[in-house]
């Protein structure tokens, strides 16, 4: 959960809903649904940012499983009448570091800078925070860290140093 408080952005909550890896797909989706419903009830977000489904041709099963997860998230959002922004991964990268081919480290560093975090977020959490930032940006919220726009410009132009 990322909140825009005046000109500042802050992480209200961040984490991962974990399911039992030994459970059936149906049970795991049920666990995800229950966990997500609890999060939505507690936090009441104005929008949910969801990464658009991408499946590598060598791993089609992954795309199918991600599709199931996206369906569960969309149903939970629809129940609470929360809009869902589906954003392609390359669009997130372009919005945050001006390159659709940015690597994971570049993205984590930009998320850290924009949200003035003490350290770079873990992989999945960083991805979710990046999506949230882009969803906020698409709704008119300016993305600038506490250091101001120049700090973002320095990060964006640092290339592979990010």
Q: How do residues 36-71 score in pLDDT, each as one tens digit? A: 999 999 999 999 999 998 888 899 999 999 999 999
Tallying the residues shown for the chain, one arrives at 162
Choosing among 3.90.1150.10, 3.40.50.12160, 3.30.70.1450, 3.30.420.10, the CATH entry for 2-161 is 3.30.420.10
Provide the mean pLDDT of the chain: 87
Say whether pLDDT at 162 is over 60.
no
CA distances from 86 to 30, 138, 160 (A): 22, 12, 27
Contacts for 162 with CB less than 8 Å, ≥ 6 apart: 97, 102, 105, 106, 109, 110, 155, 156
pLDDT category at 99 given cuts 50, 70, 90 is: confident
Residue 121 in tokens:
């977020």
What digits encode the pLDDT tens for the residues 1-24? Answer: 999 888 889 999 999 999 999 999
Which residues partner with 51 through β-bridges? 87
Say whether pLDDT at 153 is over 50.
no
What digits encode the pLDDT tens for the residues 117-133? Answer: 999 999 899 999 999 99
Which residues partner with 8 through β-bridges? 5
% residues pLDDT > 70 (the chain)? 89
pTM of this structure:
0.85
pLDDT category at 148 given cuts 50, 70, 90 is: low
d(CA 2, CA 128): 10
Look at residue 109 in the predicted model and tell me its pLDDT. 93
Q: Where are the alpha helices (DSSP H) in 7-84?
A: 25-43, 60-79
């Amino acid at each position: 959960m990322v909140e825009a408080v005046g000109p500042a952005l802050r992480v209200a909550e961040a984490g991962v809903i974990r399911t039992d890896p030994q459970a059936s797909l149906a049970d795991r989706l049920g666990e995800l649904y229950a966990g997500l419903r609890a999060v939505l009830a507690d936090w009441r977000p104005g929008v949910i940012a969801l990464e658009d489904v991408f499946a590598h041709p060598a791993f089609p099963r992954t795309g199918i499983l991600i599709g199931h997860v996206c369906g569960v998230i969309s149903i939970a959002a629809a129940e609470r009448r929360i809009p869902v922004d589906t954003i392609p991964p390359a669009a997130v990268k372009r919005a945050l570091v001006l390159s659709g081919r940015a690597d994971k480290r570049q993205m984590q560093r930009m998320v850290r800078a924009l949200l003035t975090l003490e350290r770079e977020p873990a992989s999945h959490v960083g991805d979710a925070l990046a999506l949230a930032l882009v969803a906020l940006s698409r709704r008119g919220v300016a993305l600038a860290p506490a250091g101001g726009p120049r700090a973002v410009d320095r990060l964006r132009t640092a290339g592979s140093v990010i």
